[in-house]
Amino acid sequence: MLVSLLAASACFAQRGFVKVNGTRFTIDGQPYRYIGANYWYGSLLATNGEAGKKRLKTELNFLKKNGVTNLRVMVGAEGLTDYLYRTPNEKSLQPEAGKYDENIMTGIDYLLNELGKRNMKTVLHFTNTWEWSGGLGQYLKWNGLGTPPYPKNPGYSWDNYQKFISQFYTCQTCMDEVDNYIKYVLNRVNSLNGKKYTDDAAIMAWEIINEPRPMDPTAIPAFELWMQHVSALVKSMDKNHLLTTGSEGEIASFNDMSVYEKIHADKNIDYLTIHIWPKNWGWFSDTSINKSYGNIIAKAGAYAEKHVELAQKLNKPLVIEEFGLPRDLHSYSISATTNNRDQFYGFIFNFVTSHPDVAGCNFWAFGGVSRPIPGQIFWKDGDEFMGDPAGEEQGLNSVFDSDTSTWQLIRRYASKVSSAK
């Protein structure tokens, strides 16, 4: 009888959707907190035949064994291009506007089915502000507004890129195409288990876009309207799942906290997100991680605290859903130590455990069984996917299954966070 009751309890927990109660997450009325990982390529692995499916199952088993049961994943890439530093063309979910690759969708089906078997959860982001998966720039290109000024290409500048992407929020056909894409995904029925995506408890939440930014101060009103529109669309189609923005926080809107507050105060947005990127935000440079470590921690703590205060004001949970640090001395080698990264992770994990309004965190990123290729900095066609997308140095922020000291830390805090009330 006891065995039957335990089995029934486990089955019920697997069916449970994540809900919000004030600043906390719950599943079936019980608290839900987690240490999770970014696994952006998880939706693509099963498209690599039996070898890809085997890798996916191996990595999910490894994650579950180490206490990581919440994964943030990309739904799909957009477009075809000769730009080198992005998700490969054959892995594009939407190679042309409004046309979808069934093989890529079955990869998502496979991921969701395997997550369900393991009682694991995923957060799925629809599109991307950045070029490495097509994203908003691809919709602009499809609608005749030019080719994005891609990083590492001649003529690129950060200002030019921002101005180009900011056009999206006034391109009605671009926005309509994103709407159609979202409708397509939300109407999907899993080919393996017959579940409609909107009825699948393996999904914790949908995310409008990875790292939404207005990109230009003049675009802020249109950006806010678009975020509001998409949030209403998703919630009109899916009453079961949570919805969030995918935001980095205040830094994403020219350090204007009012913009961040407005998009998260929306009744259709269930929880707040922030990202913390010491390298990208200039808190240290190149190999000076150790020298700048005190500054990194001070800035990270202050940034997180500011957003916790807003989460309390809005009475919604907060998730630190991206944070990362290179290996020691900024090395890409698998043999390089991770002392600074481990300390930084420990700081974030401890911040989560000591702040009940922070419901979880997802480190960036899980590299699994993949390995950087010695002497090769960037991804090329045919390489294994890892936590670093094609536009980033391979091995820069990835946590591999061989990073023993990091996994010891993750296991310890995953147990601590999941048991905290």
pLDDT digits (tens, 9 = 90+) for 145-188: 999 999 999 989 999 999 999 999 999 999 999 999 999 999 99
Residues near 157 by beta carbon (within 8 Å), at least 6 away in sequence: 149
Residue that has been written with the tokens 């420990």 in this structure: 346
For strand 70-74 and strand 272-276, is the pairing parallel, antiparallel, or unpaired?
unpaired
Rounded Cα–Cα distance for residues 397 and 388 (Å):
6
Taking the C-alpha atoms of residue 63 and residue 237, their distance in angstroms, rounded to an integer, is 31
How much is the pLDDT for 6?
35
**Which residues, 6+ apart, have CB-to-CB distance to 329 below 8 Å?**
287, 289, 336
What's the pLDDT score for residue 197? 98
Q: State the Cα–Cα distance between residues 9 and 352, nearest whole angstrom.
A: 27
Please say if the pLDDT value at position 11 is more than 60: no
Mean pLDDT, the chain, as a whole number?
Answer: 95
State the Cα–Cα distance between residues 26 and 281, nearest whole angstrom.
33
Of 37, 68, 2, residue with least CA distance to 411: 68
Q: Hey, what are 298's tokens?
A: 């001070």
Q: What's residue 288's pLDDT?
A: 81
104 confidence band (pLDDT: 50, 70, 90): very high
Residue 228: CB partners within 8 Å, gap ≥ 6?
Answer: 263, 266, 268
Q: Which two tokens stand for residue 179?
A: 């709407």
**pLDDT value at residue 45:** 98
SS3 (DSSP) at 248: coil
Identify the band that residue 379 occupies on the pLDDT scale cut at 50, 70 and 90.
very high
Express as a percent the part of the chain with pLDDT over 90.
93
Token code pair at residue 148:
């994005």
Nearest to 52 by CA among 94, 90, 80: 90
- In which residue are the tokens 């929880």 written? 271
Comparing 103-112, 251-260, 284-293, 353-362, the range with the smallest average pLDDT is 284-293
Walk me through the domains of the chain, giving residue ranges and CATH numbers: 2-419 (3.20.20.80)
